[in-house]
Amino acid sequence: MNLFNESIVGILNEYFSENEEYVESILLASYGFKIQFVNFDVQCEERVFATIAGKRYEWSDAPTSAPWGLLGRQLAKRAVLKSPELLSIEFESGDVFDIETAENQYESVIFNFPPQDGALVMEIF
């Protein structure tokens, strides 16, 4: 699929500036990592990283003992493109959630946004 670009950063920052997009839930499984915000969710199939309370954690295809639940109810402030393979979501607390994508034949990251005019809205990387 595709690598990250400034377009997805713009879409995310529009959500973050117009709404209080806090983390509603996190689904951690052996097949993927899903983070649900108020109005959209992000499904990750590659690695994800987080800096929580100053410590760095990683998920890469298996449940971990990292304190992912501490991201719950955190308010997202902005998205930043660190590289074409790495997109960051920064929280009001100072914690950071990094999403990795890979350029290959399968989707690595799916952003699911609210339907518009009866159609599903997704960005796939």
Give the tens place of pLDDT for each residue, 48-61: 999 999 999 999 98
Decide if 38 contacts 22 (C-beta within 8 A): yes
Q: Is the pLDDT of residue 63 over 80?
A: no
Q: What pairs with residue 55 in β-bridges?
A: 52
The confidence band for 6, taking pLDDT boundaries of 50, 70 and 90, is: very high
Helix ranges (H only) for 1-125 are 6-18
Domain count, the chain: 1
For residue 100, tell me if it sits in a domain. Answer: yes
Q: Is the pLDDT of residue 23 over 90?
A: yes
User: Of the ranges 27-31, 41-45, 93-97, which one carries the lowest mean pLDDT score?
Assistant: 27-31
Q: What is the mean pLDDT of residues 94-99?
A: 98
Decide if 12 contacts 77 (C-beta within 8 A): no
For residue 10, tell me if it sits in a domain. Answer: yes
Q: Is the pLDDT of residue 122 over 90?
A: yes
For residue 58, tell me if it sits in a domain. Answer: yes
Q: Phi and psi at residue 36, in whole multiples of 5°?
A: -105, 120
Q: What is the domain extent for residue 53?
A: 6-63+71-124
For residue 1, tell me if it sits in a domain. Answer: no
Instruction: State the amino acid at position 8 in one-letter form.
Output: I
